[in-house]
């Protein structure tokens, strides 16, 4: 694409990018989940509320009901190769949330109540 616009061969463009400009093609780093600061703050607030309710009412956990949480994807996520971009040697690596390629994915979470409390405490420490 660059070569066509400038009237240069693919090899010449590649040589200029890699040798003269010291650029390289980088794939996005796949991470389990990328949360915005608002989402992180919201999770922290919910955890604090939950822990406060446990402290105020020790029988609160006896009334907690958990169940399956279905996750549904109706698209094919971009592959690592499709997300490649040219970067200089000092530029930071792009991050990309990891997605499932299947159309329907189910997650079943069954957690012991004590594990749940420890999980909330762990989230608050972060």
What residue segments make up the domains of the chain, in order of their start? 2-125
What's the pLDDT tens digit per position in 18-58? 888 888 877 766 666 677 788 888 888 888 888 898 899 88
Spatial separation of the C-alpha atoms in residues 78 and 16, rounded to whole Å = 28
- Checking if the pLDDT of 70 tops 60, the result is no
User: Among 76, 112, 114, 84, which Cα is nearest to 24's?
Assistant: 84
CA R_g for the chain = 23
Question: Quick one: CA dihedral 22, 27, 31, 36, positive or negative?
Answer: positive
Name the DSSP class of 35: -
Q: What is the pLDDT at residue 20?
A: 83
Of the pLDDT bands very low, low, confident and very high (cuts 50, 70, 90), residue 107 is very low
Contact 24, 90 (CB under 8 A): no
What CA–CA distances, in Å, run from 43 to 28, 38, 110, 113, 118?
A: 26, 9, 19, 18, 15
The pTM of this model reads 0.34
Q: Which residue do the tokens 């991050």 mark?
A: 95
- Checking if the pLDDT of 103 tops 50, the result is no
If you average pLDDT over every residue of the chain, what do you get? 71
């Amino acid at each position: 694409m660059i070569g066509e616009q400038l009237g240069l061969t693919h090899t010449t463009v590649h040589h200029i990018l890699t040798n003269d400009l010291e650029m390289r093609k980088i794939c996005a780093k796949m991470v389990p989940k990328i949360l915005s600061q608002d989402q992180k703050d919201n999770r922290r607030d919910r955890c604090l509320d939950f822990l406060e309710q446990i402290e105020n009412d020790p029988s609160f956990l006896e009334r907690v009901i958990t169940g399956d949480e279905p996750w549904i994807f109706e698209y094919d996520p971009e592959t690592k190769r499709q997300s490649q971009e040219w970067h200089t040697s000092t530029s930071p690596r792009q991050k990309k949330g990891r997605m499932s390629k299947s159309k329907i994915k189910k997650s079943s979470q069954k957690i012991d109540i004590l594990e749940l409390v420890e999980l909330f405490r762990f989230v608050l420490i972060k």
